[in-house]
Structure 1
Amino acid sequence: MNLGLFGLEGEEKAAKFLKKQGYRIIDKNFQTRFGEIDIIAENKEYIVFAEVKARSEKSIAEPKEFVDLKKQRKIIKTAEIYLSENTTEKQPRFDVVEVKKENGKTIVNHIINAFEVE
């Protein structure tokens, strides 16, 4: 499968998963000059900035390992811009949603509060 296509499929599966967990999807692929946030969602308590990492069965590393400190900083800066343009009373939270293939099945793993603002 084309990696870009699997990435898009991964984002769709992540959004579907979050909806089933009671989140409302506010935005997808929010971009600034600093970076992009794959999914912005909310529940009763939090506004969630979610990075989706999709990997095929052939990947050696776990998807979450690709969200390094540099990527976290870009996501945080982009979230700050989003929040400056869209006020909310909800607490921000940074999650990672892993989408991976295992034995031909798609597995979704939601890592809540995967990283924090320093």
Structure 2
Amino acid sequence: MSHSDIANLGEDLVAQWLQSTGWIILERQFSCRWGEIDIIAQHSENTLEPLLAFVEVKTRSPGSWDDGGKGAITLKKQAKIERTARMFLAKHPEKSDYACRFDVAIVSCQISSQNHHKLSVTQKPTTISSIGEYEFQLQEYIPAAFDSL
């Protein structure tokens, strides 16, 4: 399986989880000249105003060099995502008054036969999916991540 296939499967897992928690997926892999946003989702249940989440998904194998993907969300990457989000809002002016936030989802991917090794995670996996010989786990979902990274 290629890296892009694994990344897409990680994004699929996060999109399914978001939908199961009341989010509506508006776009997947939204791109413009500034960059790409993996998932754009809207939540409007039980809130006074709708909320848009621009979600960056990082799918990594255990023990990755970049802290499970968190290290890849540099200030430069954040700026690209923010510019891309502005382009999305320009294309959808009816959503320009919505509250917006930038979330990060950390997905772990490993070959199923390696499952006897314990993953070192800071949080219990939220959701798990097996695709062929691979197992994907949503390890951490960080709402408003740019504020905390």
On whether the aligned pair clears a TM of 0.5, the verdict is yes
> The residue matched to 1:115 in structure 2 has which SS?
helix
The normalised TM-score by structure 1 is 0.89
Tell which deviates more after alignment, 96-105 or 51-60.
96-105
Contact 1:39 1:50 in 2 (8 A): yes
- Structure 2: 5+ residue runs without aligned partners? 45-49, 116-134
Matches within 5 A, 1:47-62: 47-60=52-65, 61-62=67-68
Contact 1:35 1:74 in 2 (8 A): yes
Shift of residue 58, structure 1, vs aligned partner: 4.4
- Structure 1: 5+ residue runs without aligned partners? none
Matched residue, 1:21? 21
Matched residue, 1:42? 42
> The residue matched to 2:53 in structure 1 has which SS?
strand
Matched residues in 2 for 1:81 and 1:23: separation?
21
The normalised TM-score by structure 2 is 0.71
Contact 1:63 1:100 in 2 (8 A): no
Shift of residue 2, structure 1, vs aligned partner: 3.1
Aligned-pair identity in percent equals 35
Shift of residue 54, structure 1, vs aligned partner: 0.4
Matched residue, 1:106? 136
Matched residues in 1 for 2:35 and 2:74: separation?
14
Relative contact order higher in (CA < 8 Å, ≥ 6 apart): 1
Max Rg structure? 2
Q: Which runs of 4+ in 1 moved over 6 A?
A: none
Contact 1:52 1:98 in 2 (8 A): yes
For residues 31-75 of structure 1, what are the alpha-carbon distances to aligned partners after superposition, in whole Å with 9 as ceiling and x for unaligned?
A: 111100010001013111001110012413222221111100000
- Considering only aligned residues, what root-mean-square deviation do their CA atoms show, in Å? 1.6
